[in-house]
Amino acid sequence: MTKKSSKSVTADQYPLKKTQDDVVYEHIFEAVLEQRLAPGTKLNEESLAEIFAVSRTIIRRALSRLGHEQVVELRPNRGAIVATPSAAQARKIVLARRVIEKAVIELVIDNVNSEQLQLLRQSVDSEKQHFERGDRGAGIRQSGEFHLLLAKIADNPPLLSFQRSLVSQCSLIIGQYENSPQSHCSYDEHYQLIAAIEQGDKVSAATLMSHHLDHIENKLSLDEQQSTDNYLKSVFSDI
Amino acid sequence: MTKKSSKSVTADQYPLKKTQDDVVYEHIFEAVLEQRLAPGTKLNEESLAEIFAVSRTIIRRALSRLGHEQVVELRPNRGAIVATPSAAQARKIVLARRVIEKAVIELVIDNVNSEQLQLLRQSVDSEKQHFERGDRGAGIRQSGEFHLLLAKIADNPPLLSFQRSLVSQCSLIIGQYENSPQSHCSYDEHYQLIAAIEQGDKVSAATLMSHHLDHIENKLSLDEQQSTDNYLKSVFSDI
DNA sequence: GTTTAAATTTTTGTATACAAAAAATCAAAA
DNA sequence: TTTTGATTTTTTGTATACAAAAATTTAAAC
């Protein structure tokens, strides 16, 4: 369990009256982001119902929402599993993120105020701390929160909700494809991004963001290559 | 009831085994797109359950999904109503669509084949027919289908699912803010767009798409102004 | 020992009953 | 007449029972 951040990230037009399925949803969502739930893990309804001390009705609602955001895969009559995006799917998710992040960062530069810049800095500070403490899961989640915070500052609910889905899917991808733990020190780039935002430099910001996503995508290609190699090796293992 | 199009537009990784809530979802979705369900209409669970001859469980699942796509507004303990985006919200939705459509159209130009061009033409033909027959509702829906077809050809499931949500929200907006029925002859611009795609002209295509969205946004400003005028008038009606 | 088929168990899908909240109705007071 | 408060009705939220499907186990045949 990790601490609750002060402000909700969802587009909450209705006050903070969190329904039971919201709570379940957020717990599972966070577990996926922190990679405590590995891709492919079966999410048994009754087990979850016991864990959260609610009925299956509530669990099903939460899973349905997670399914809609592509965080879990809903297989008719066969239950839900944590999504396992293929390299090809991952590539498309990253592409979609390129599109959204570029738009978001430009909107942020147009809208941002000093208070929000402070929030951004705090977010990256927290991310850095998690990584330095060796809590990679929390670090990756906090990294995601940084990008969600950007979308929030961009002040466009549809983009935010899309970003939410993309960020969680990217966390899954990172968890699946990025093996070297030391390589994921995104917070450095995040600080640079904040600087570019502060200076109102759209071109630099967009370039930085693009590099940031390149890192994810490169890992992907590498891993894809490896998998192919291993696959061929296993096929001809008797030679 | 309108004819089913040959191919499903949803990202269907699982075969065509439509569940009951899918059917309910699609019916309500289509009714919203065709503006047979006006913005603000209360969607009573029990009434819908009777109409579709299923239990409330199914209805709630369908409404939950529609709520997630922002097609209906889910008010805790107060039921669902067809969404009624304000002018400010509408502007943000249109902005999000600008972002997505630009990306989609460029992907389409990179990927499209002659068979898909044919599908695009058929879609606009159908749209034109609906408008010429005076069936504005079906026309608007078919116009939406054209844009969903583009996203489908772009071959990026996350963008497609986002587009789906945006297109339906735009239909709501058009229904709310566009009063002059003759003005909505988008199919002309759609034909031009196909031509630009065929020629691989990304710049023209993007420009056309942008104009297309300008039309929606202009209507919005006009109506916003009118509402304000009326509001002021009503406030000072005793003078 | 492996494969196939039947029986059993588990799990998901749907309907429904009941609880909780909101809306509507009605009655009394100003 | 309008307003306020209590009562009733309606509607939503949740749990649960049962049905249907899938997974697992068991048993038999090869």
What is the pLDDT, as a whole number, of residue B202? 93
Distance CA A213, CA A169 (A): 13
Round and report the angstrom distance from CA (A211) to C1' (D29).
63
By C1' distance from the Cα of A79, the closest nucleotide is C12
Distance CA B36, CA B46 (A): 19
Taking only the tens place, the pLDDT of each residue in A81-121 is 999 998 889 999 999 999 999 999 999 999 999 999 999 99
Residues in chain B: 239
What is the pLDDT, as a whole number, of residue A206? 93
Is the CB of A158 less than 8 angstroms away from the CB of B96? Answer: yes
Of A76, A95, A159, the CB nearest to B156: A95
- Residue B31 parent element (H or E): helix B20-33
The residue written with tokens 């009118």 in the block is B226
B5 touches chain A (CB under 8 A): no
Instruction: Write out chain B residues lying below 8 Å of A24, CB-based.
Output: none
By C1' distance from the Cα of A80, the closest nucleotide is C12
Phi, psi of B81 (to 5 degrees): -130, 155
Cβ atoms within 10 Å, residue B22: 19
Distances from the Cα of B226 to the Cαs of A198, B222, B223, in angstroms? 38, 6, 5
Q: Chain C: nucleotides under 7 Å from a protein CB?
A: 11-17, 21-23
Closest CA to B194 of B132, B128, B97: B128
Tell me the average pLDDT of chain B.
84
Position B237 confidence tier, pLDDT thresholds 50, 70, 90? very low
Q: In chain B, positions 177-216, which contact chain A (CB-CB < 8 Å)?
A: none
B10 touches chain A (CB under 8 A): no
Closest CA to A112 of A207, A6, A201: A201
Residue A153 has pLDDT above 90, yes or no: yes
Distances from the Cα of B53 to the Cαs of A76, B36, B45, B142, in angstroms? 21, 20, 12, 28
B2 CB contact with strand C at below 7 Å:
no
Instruction: Write out chain B residues lying below 8 Å of A14, CB-based.
Output: 75-76
What is the pLDDT, as a whole number, of residue A224? 61
Q: In chain B, positions 88-127, which contact chain A (CB-CB < 8 Å)?
A: 89, 92-93, 95-96, 99-100, 103
Position B181 confidence tier, pLDDT thresholds 50, 70, 90? low
Distance CA B77, CA A174 (A): 38
What is the pLDDT, as a whole number, of residue A74? 96
Say which residue, A157 or A35, is predicted with more confidence.
A157
What is the pLDDT, as a whole number, of residue B110? 95
Domain boundaries, chain B: 20-82, 87-234
Strand D close residues, chain B 80-99, CB < 7 angstroms: 80
Instruction: Write out chain B residues lying below 8 Å of A155, CB-based.
Output: 92
Instruction: Report, at the CATH architecture level, how domain B20-82 is classified.
Output: Orthogonal Bundle (1.10)
What is the pLDDT, as a whole number, of residue A17? 60
Helix residue ranges, H only, A72-180: 87-111, 114-132, 136-154, 157-177
> What is the DSSP pairing of strand A79-82 with strand B42-43?
unpaired
Segment A39-49 mean pLDDT: 94
CA–chain centroid gap for B198, Å, is 24
B59 CB contact with strand C at below 7 Å:
no
Taking only the tens place, the pLDDT of each residue in B7-44 is 333 333 434 567 888 899 999 998 888 878 988 999 99
Closest CA to B92 of B210, B217, B178, B215: B217
Closest CA to B81 of B46, B43, B51: B43
Instruction: Write out chain A residues lying below 8 Å of B61, CB-based.
Output: 64
pTM, 2 dp: 0.84
The topology under which CATH files domain A87-234 is Four Helix Bundle (Hemerythrin (Met), subunit A) (1.20.120)
Distance CA B51, CA B3 (A): 20
Largest CA distance in chain A: 65
Is the CB of A157 less than 8 angstroms away from the CB of B65? Answer: no
By C1' distance from the Cα of B58, the closest nucleotide is C14
Distance CA A22, CA B214 (A): 37
Q: What is the DSSP letter of A82?
A: E
Taking only the tens place, the pLDDT of each residue in B208-232 is 999 988 888 887 765 665 555 444 3
Which residue is closest to A77 within chain B, CA to CA? Answer: B19
Instruction: Write out chain A residues lying below 8 Å of B92, CB-based.
Output: 155-159
